[in-house]
Amino acid sequence: MTTVVPTEDVQLRFRGLRIHAQVCGEGEPLLLYSGVWGEVRLWERLLPHLAGFRTIAFDPPGIGRSQPPPYPLSMWSLAQMGTTVLDAFGIESAHVLGASFGGAVAQQMALSHPGRVRRLVLASTSFGGGAMPGNLEALWHFIHPRSYHPERLERVAGAMFGGRLRAEPQLVRSMHIRRPTDTLAALYRVAGLIGWTSLPWLWAIGQPTLILAGDDDPVTPLVNHRIMAALMPRARLHVAAGGGHLVLLDSAHQVGPVITRFLREG
């Protein structure tokens, strides 16, 4: 049973756009970057395992309750949004956790705004261009709009995300995974990845970094995480046995303590 953690909803502004944010807990600040379609509710399964930290999550532009942008936002703009969110709460620097697409944004923030990032957690992500692509069936389900219909999502969850969802696809019901119904908003959301790669400058990310991966991730293969851990000077890799692309959610009880131990080392 998932523990309900009290949260506070806040409305922010970024370049004139209304952005919905959510704050939870007390302690050192931890900024959360969600996956490509991830709303703040996506974090509900992980939050009980992040006790002792003040988490700040937000719906990216065009996702959830945040206003869609009039044009695609680059990875640099999305990273700057993180600094804007921190500024709104009077936070000079924070730990940063990015999952999947959000892991790419977190890498960009660590490079472009190094003074704002204390420790970095990258989960189920990659370095963009040049990375080993995922399983074709999983990627097809991932991008196909019909895959996110509640009944169909449960049927394809195992092939789409791997991990525990192969044996327990019903878990996806509580994960609040929804693709934008607005096709343009969906296209604008993924546009930031076009032409982006962190491979040439991974060596320049100097923050202590925890790289988290499931050993059954069909979207971002484990080899990409190994490459990142090898190229980043202060990175370590943790592989969750039986975890899939949604390792933060399908194995929250397993990876939550790993994350908090790493963050408290600083």
Task: For residues 57 and 38, give the distance between their C-alpha atoms in angstroms, rounded to a whole number.
Answer: 10
Task: For residues 70 and 75, give the distance between their C-alpha atoms in angstroms, rounded to a whole number.
Answer: 16
Segments of the chain assigned E as strands: 7-14, 17-24, 28-33, 53-58, 94-99, 117-123, 209-214, 235-240
- Whether the CB-CB separation of 122 and 209 falls below 8 Å is answered with yes
Q: Is 74 designated active site?
A: no
Sheet holding 7-14, edge to edge: 7-14, 17-24, 53-58, 28-33, 94-99, 117-123, 209-214, 235-240
- DSSP 8-class letter at 258: H
- Options 100, 124, 126, 147, the catalytic residue: 100
Radius of gyration (C-alpha) of the chain in whole angstroms: 17
- Closest by CA to 89, choosing from 157, 14, 23, is 23
DSSP 174-235: GS-----S-HHHHHHHHGGGTT-B-GGGGGG--S-EEEEEETT-SSS-HHHHHHHHHHSTTE
Give me the numbers of helices (H) and strands (E) for the chain, helices first please.
8, 8
Task: For residues 144 and 230, give the distance between their C-alpha atoms in angstroms, rounded to a whole number.
Answer: 33
Query: Mind telling me the catalytic residues?
Result: 100
